[in-house]
Structures are given as C-alpha cells and as structure tokens.
Structure 1
Amino acid sequence: MHFFDDRKDLASQGLTLQAVFDLSAMPDALKTWLQGAVKDASGYTQLILLGHGGTALWQAMEAAGARGNVWGNAGGDDPVDSFSRKVVTRYLEESPHCRGHRFLFPLEDYAAPLMALGAHAGWHHPSPFMVGINKAWGSWFAYRALVLTDSDFTATKPEVWGSPCVSCADKPCMGACPAGAVAHAGFRAESCFAHRLTPASSCAETCHARTACPVGAAHRYSEAQMRYHYGRSFESLKVYAQDQAKTG
C-alpha cells in the first residue's frame, strides 16, 4: 500500500485535506465532467484533490517569502495558487509512486466541480452561508489543487459524519449577517452582493456570518489571510457587477 503524503511533506505546508480517487471508481457524473474537460485521460489512473485547513498554508507561504497584491489584482496570478502548485509539483515529481501528472486546478481552463468532489470525499456539508462546513476545520478550509496522475497511491475512503448545522439551534450565522442574506428560507445571493458593494461596507474584507459560526473557530483565518481572500473575491464581484450593468 502506498499512502499519499506518508511523510507529511504536503501536510507540513498546510495542505492538510487530501483525497485520492481511482478514476475507474468515480461516480458517473464526475466521470462525465472529466471526459468533457480533458478529452483524453487514458494515460492517467487517479485524481488527487487537495485543500488547506486553517492558517498553516498561509504561514508556510509567508515563511517561503510568497507575497501578493490583494486589491486591484483579482485577475493576476494568485500567490496562494502559485505556492500550492509549486509544493504539489515538487512532491509528485519526487514520489516514486507517481509517473506523471496534470493540473486541472488551479487553472482557468477547467470549470472543476470542486464542491462535488469535496462532497464525494466527505470533506464538508452545506452551510446556510454557502461555505462548506468541515468537521475539523469548520468553514476555514479551501480547495487548492486538483491533479490527474498516473500513480498507484492508496485510494482514500470517504469521510462519513453528520452536519453540525442540523443540530445547531441558535444559528448565529443568520443573526450576524447585516444584509439578511443568510436565512432559513435559503441564501439570498443578491442581498449579499449588493451589501458587499455598498460604499464602506463592513463585508468587503470579511463575512460576518462565517466568523459567527462556532464550528472550527480555533482555525479561523488571520486578519491578513482574510483580507487577502475576501479582497480578491471583492474585486471579482466588482467586475461581475460591472459586466451585469453593461448587459442589463
């Protein structure tokens, strides 16, 4: 048995969420996506999904000297993506159990169904504020890489656990959202977007509903990490709003 990242090379860099799928055993819907995206995956045997949890990857990135402009650079190279690609590439190229690899994410060419893959791995359950909830990390995790490999790593088994949102009676995320976007009736995306775009909005660099959630609170991102991720999403949201205004 060849366990993926058995020496914790990737986990030590913050890539603590790891799933290895045998292509032959993937659900039909994911096989269909892969066939449409890649056309010919005949030279590959497995699909590897990686994510970070908490602040460890951010700390490793800063220790390595990786920096990036947040504001006004939504379309530029993401240093978090660059760092993740670098450490994953190094691991796969040095592993005796991997004979070749091809990144599907982070790349703009592929609309990778990351949430579906994460759900298949058992990483998360849905939350009222539209960010998945992980049993260990809460909402403080994110997808960092999806890689096709010609490899013989041991496939991981899906994690099975119950959603903490089901047993959460207080639902603090709903009361914390100043836009009223997080509600029992469902998430109101337009309310969220409109409030974030309001001048001097308190939601530009954070999500109050997300920070109010008690699950995994010990792993909450630092202020710098929060500003970075939400800063980029805010810039992307502004571009989206401008495009909508032009076509509307």
Structure 2
Amino acid sequence: MTGNGLAEAIGRHGLVLRGGFVFDKGEAAPLALSGRLARSVILIGNAGASYWPHFRRWREGRPADLENPLDTWCREVIGGIAQDFGARAVSPSDRPFLPFQQWAMRSEGLKSSPLGILMHPEYGLWHAYRGALLFDVELAVESVHEPIHLCDACVGKPCLKACPVDAYTPAGFAYEDCLAHVRGAEGKPCRTVGCLDRNACPYGAAYRYPAEVHAFHMKAFAKL
C-alpha cells in the first residue's frame, strides 16, 4: 500500500495497517499536514490484543490517574509515525468527529454486526481502528474486494442472546440498561470477562481479547 516501511513502523507497536483509499476528486476530505485537502487516508488499528503489551509497558511510566490512557498512547504512537512519513495523524476521538466507521467500511469492505461493531472475516469482532494517516498525495492503495459477511451466515445470532438485560436487540442498543447492569453487582462477569454478547460470537476466536483487556475497556465504559 505505502511500502513495507510504514507497516513495519506500525507493527513495532503491535498495531496493523487497516486498509485505506484515495479520496474522490471534489470530495470534502479533511486537511493533510500541508494544509491542502487530503488525497489518501490509511487506517491504523489492532487485530486482537497484540498492542496490549506495548501499551502496558508505556502505561507503567505514567501517572495512575492519567485520563484516557489508551487514547493518549495511540495519539503518541500514531502521531510519531505520521511525522516520520510526512502525514497528518487523526484520531476517532477528534472533535469534530471524523467518519472513521465509513472510512473503515470503504477501506476493508466490512459491514456492521448486530452489535454495531464491524464484522471482520478473520478477526471477527476482535479489532478496532485507533487512528489514521492523511496524505496530500495519491497512494497506490489496493482495490477492496467485498469479503463474506459472516453475520449473514450466522443463523442463531448468539450475540443477541447472552446479555442478561437484552442490551442489544434489532431495535438498537439499550445504553442505559447496559450501563446500569455493568455497574451493579450482577454485572461483575461483564466487568471481568467483557460484554457477554460480544463474547458469544463464534467468529475470530483466535483474536479474542484476554480478560485484562476486557476489564480495562469495561472499566472505562462504566467509569468505575
């Protein structure tokens, strides 16, 4: 896509290239580092928890009360890579929000699962997009071939049956019900092993996050 150098630089932090594309001419693209409209975007993220040891080592040298540590680490890592490759780094938490999910669907041809997480043909639900690099030149990006959407082949939909409070339904995500359950005494399993609906998905099991990663994310979600 952009040469082995970028993939290697990202890989040193346990992250992976997550596709990219060239913006259409006339498209309202964000600005690149030069101040001109970006012509290409490359997404960076994780597949499974290979990033976790790198983040954990970084975390040990920071204050215990550091706010949004994972977001801070991602910004630092991806920002440094952007400097090395002459790109502008952007994050899913930037304001105003950038259309990361649309970019992801466009880059990898993925579709949403019943839980709202994009379903990957290899990683299942165990992946995320941590940032992106914006370039003011057209990069040689591989064409996307729409993968098989595993949710279409899943008849039983176990991801909609494991949650004790039915937080995920075809009608949407019952955020308040989920949050109250996770914060309560009966929500301890969710806090320690992660979302039960997400864990019920049979796909991408080799990339499933370990308990430590689940606990970190659930603590952040519940703000406990």
Distance (Å, rounded) in 1 between the aligned partners of 2:88 and 2:197: 36
Alignment of 1:77-226 (within 5 A): 77-78=68-69, 80-95=70-85, 100-105=86-91, 107-122=93-108, 124-151=110-137, 153-202=139-188, 203-205=190-192, 206-226=194-214
Alignment check: 8 A CA contact 2:78 2:89 kept: no
Of 191-200 and 165-174, more deviation after overlay is shown by: 191-200
For these two proteins, the number of residue pairs brought into alignment is 220
Offset at residue 103 of structure 1 (A): 2.3
Structure 1 pair 86/153, CA: closer, same or farther in 2 (3 Å)? Answer: farther
Distance (Å, rounded) in 2 between the aligned partners of 1:61 and 1:83: 7
TM-score, structure 2 length as denominator?
0.80
Residue 8 of structure 1 aligns with which residue? 8
**Percent of aligned positions with the same letter in both sequences?**
25
Residue 56 of structure 1 aligns with which residue? 50
Q: Give the aligned CA root-mean-square deviation in angstroms.
A: 3.1
Offset at residue 42 of structure 1 (A): 1.5
Deviations 1:58-103 (A, max 9, x none): 12323x4434678x76xx142x3333333333434334xxxx3222
Distance (Å, rounded) in 1 between the aligned partners of 2:83 and 2:174: 44
Alignment check: 8 A CA contact 2:74 2:130 kept: yes
TM-score, structure 1 length as denominator?
0.74
Offset at residue 176 of structure 1 (A): 0.9
Deviations 1:146-189 (A, max 9, x none): 23223553223224112111111222212211111233454444
Q: Which runs of 5+ in 1 are unaligned?
A: 239-248
